[in-house]
Amino acid sequence: MNGDWLICGREGGLRAYAHAPDGDAIVCRTERTPDGPWTPSRTVGGDQRVYPATAALARSALAYTHLAAWRPTVSGESGLVHSTHFQAHLAALDWSSIGHPNRKGDRTGPPAVAVDAQGRAHVFVRNNGGGMSVRVQAEKGGWGPWRDLKGSGVRGRPAAVNCESGLITLYAETADGILRWRQPEPGAAPVLDDKPQPAAVRPDTLCALATSAEHTTLFYVTEDGGLYAWRGDADPVRLLDAAGDGAPVAVRCRLDDVDCTLLAQRSRGGRVAFAAYPTEVESAGAWWTESGEALPPDARLALTDDAAGRVVAAAYVPGAPPRLLLTRRKDEPGLALEAWRRAF
The whole-chain average pLDDT of the chain stands at: 95
Could you list the beta-strand ranges (E) of 256-344. 258-266, 272-278, 289-291, 300-305, 311-317, 323-328, 341-342
152 vs 214 pLDDT, higher one: 152
Q: What is the pLDDT of residue 214?
A: 86
Beta 2-3 vs 51-59: how paired, if at all? parallel
What is the predicted pLDDT for the residue at 165? 86
Classify 283 as helix, strand or coil.
helix
Helix (H, G, I), strand (E, B) or coil at 3: strand
Which tens digits make up the pLDDT trace of 39-72? 999 999 999 999 999 999 999 999 999 999 999 9
Rounding to the nearest 10 degrees, give the CA dihedral for residues 42, 48, 54, 59.
Answer: -50
The pLDDT, as a whole number, for residue 213 is 87
Please tell me whether the peptide bond between 184 and the residue prior to it is cis, using omega within 30 degrees of 0: no
Contact of 114 with 161, CB cutoff 8 Å: yes
Share of the chain above pLDDT 90, in %: 91
pLDDT higher than threshold 90 for residue 300: yes
pLDDT, tens digit, for every residue of 145-164?
A: 999 999 999 999 999 999 88
202 pLDDT higher than 80 = yes
**Positive or negative, the Cα torsion across 195, 201, 205, 210?**
negative
Report the C-alpha gap between 299 and 318 in whole angstroms.
7
Cα–Cα distance between 160 and 235 in angstroms, integer? 20
- Stretch 72-80: mean pLDDT: 97
Order the strands of the 6-8 sheet from edge to edge: 6-8, 14-19, 26-30, 42-43
Q: Which residues fall within 8 angstroms of residue 291, CB to CB, at 6 or more apart?
A: 271, 272, 273, 274, 313, 327, 337, 340
pLDDT of 89 > 90? The answer is no
pLDDT at 336: 93
Beta bridge partners of 324: 316
